[in-house]
Chain A
Amino acid sequence: MAIESPIRLVEEVVNKCVERYIPYSVMFELTYRCNLNCRHCFIVKDGNINELSTEEVKNIIDQLVEMGTFFLAFTGGEIFMRDDLFEIAWHAKRKGFLLTFMTNGTLITPEKVEEIRKMKPVKFEFSLYGATAKTHDYITRVKGSFERTVEAIKRLVECGIDVTIKTILMNLNVKEREEMEALAEELGAHPRINPGLAPRRDGSLEPLKYDLSFEEMIEYLPEDYDEVMLSYLSEKSKDISDRFICKAGKAGCCISPDGTVYPCVMMPIPVGNLREKSFKEIWHTQPSKELKRLRNLTAHDLTTCPSCDLAPFCIRCPGVVYLETGDIVGASPSACKYARWRKYVRTHHGNTATSIGGLYYEKTKGR
């Protein structure tokens, strides 16, 4: 009856969840309403969406306990637009989940801070798009939003909450990248500052006009900003092609405000609605043909990626490629662009340490 707890165990458990289709991690979009109006937002503003009621959300949370979900993230829209957020979150807390709140923080009042302090979620993730009010407020299109977000971050850090600041790098804010890292450190938060804009969920490429150009990437991105991710992926999957398949629809999913289940927050392929079917039916007993297709995808189904010479440098997200092209097995224009950049900086600078065994030439031998 031994207890096992080595680090590798996490991966073993995750692999088991993938094999058994246990949704250990779920993103619950509680609302699409938002008090900000970010220029790059990928959510489609739909005022007619019929949001799940408090009781419906609680019922879904109860189902997730039975399904084996550990990690539950509340996201939006802006989650604090829902008056019943704490009622929902306390219900989830009592049912035993590791809770994450994703928010812009502008609606967090001192009373809410106190409630959060009592609840002690695992973490809070704040969206912050600049190191200055001028940049952030320009992107959110709401004057004063920077000040309110930073204030909320300060208050939660003071309460001992684990806070991450998430920043998508765009041509609007990339010049402040280093200042944003410094600001996160000053606030006592973890920075997660990355490029990676996605098209809007309805397929509109409008947000991509803010994406970094190749020249901006070379000028402003540190060469090793995604080294950890790239090393992890290649360590995990020695066969490059295996890296292009993810856990979406197997061990994770996203639930939208009207109860529609998607394989991932970045993959708007509806696989069922929780107002019509139970989670167990959608996920296990009556999976849709779309979900079955996704689960059965292998690297061999990919049309061009496994044999591409950029593959060793590629971090391809199946959801983003679907949004970009509608073809989940095709190449992702944005992933190709970033892979080209990685290859370029590693080839031209050659001073980036890497642990990607077998994929790079040793520095001493040159190319």
Chain B
Amino acid sequence: MISLDSCPRRSEDVVWRMIDDEVVILTADGREIHTLNKVGSIIWELADGTRSIIEIVRSIYERFDVDFEVAKVDVLEFVAQLADKNLLHILPAGERKGGKDGD
């Protein structure tokens, strides 16, 4: 169950690169490809297991001209989509990673 306190973490089973400010993700078998737009790419970069979803929402809210409540709904939905595709893992609030950007 995803909540605002959950901490999303990028799967180690994917390979990703930033190309023209957009994240391109390939699955480990090289057979599936996903691209994220600018906002999605920022969320992806922040999803290192050290930040909760609400912290990511605040980052997006501070950076873009968007209503806070709208950002909250959008980020939650986006994280759920990536988790469904096993591109992100969702850590419960108490299990966040220690350091920042440990990859």
Interface residues, chain A, CB within 8 Å of chain B?
1-5, 9-10, 12-13, 16-17, 20, 22, 24, 65, 68-71, 96-98, 120, 122, 162
Query: Complex Cα distance A122/B32, Å?
Result: 13
A71, chain B: closest CB distance, angstroms: 7
Whether A20 and B19, one on each chain, are in contact in the complex, defined by CB atoms closer than 8 angstroms, is yes
B residues in contact with A16, CB < 8 Å: 19-20
Q: Which of chain A's residues have a CB closer than 8 A to the CB of B30?
A: 70-71, 98, 122
A65 CA / B16 CA spacing, docked (Å): 10
Smallest CB separation, B49 vs chain A (Å): 15
Closest to B23 in A: A3
> In whole Å, how far is B73's beta carbon from the nearest beta carbon of chain A?
12
Q: Nearest-CB distance from A360 to chain B (Å)?
A: 32
Check B19–A1 contact: CB distance below 8 A.
Answer: no
Number of contact residues on B: which range applies?
20 to 34
Contact B78 A1 (CB under 8 A): yes
Knowing A70-B26, A98-B30, the reply to whether A1 touches B37 (Cβ < 8 A) is yes
Contacts of B35 in A (CB 8 A): 3-5, 9, 12-13
Q: Which residues of B contact A17 (CB under 8 A)?
A: 19
From known contacts A9-B33, A13-B35, A68-B19, infer whether A3 and B28 are also in contact, taking CB-CB under 8 Å: no
Give the docked Cα–Cα distance between A12 and B19 (Å). Answer: 12
Q: Could you give, for residues 1-42 of chain B, a 1 whenever the CB lies within 8 Å of some chain A CB and a 0 otherwise? A: 000000000000001111110001010111011111101100
Q: With A and B bound together, what is the CA distance between A69 and B30 in angstroms?
A: 13
Q: Can you list 21 pairs linking A and B with CB atoms under 8 Å apart?
A: A1-B37, A1-B40, A2-B37, A3-B82, A4-B34, A4-B35, A5-B32, A5-B34, A9-B33, A9-B34, A9-B35, A10-B33, A13-B33, A16-B19, A65-B17, A68-B17, A68-B18, A70-B17, A96-B16, A98-B15, A122-B30
Give the contacting residue for A13; candidates B19, B29, B78, B85; CB below 8 A. Answer: B19
Q: Which residues of A contact B16 (CB under 8 A)?
A: 96
- How distant is A100 from chain B, measured CB to nearest CB, in Å? 9
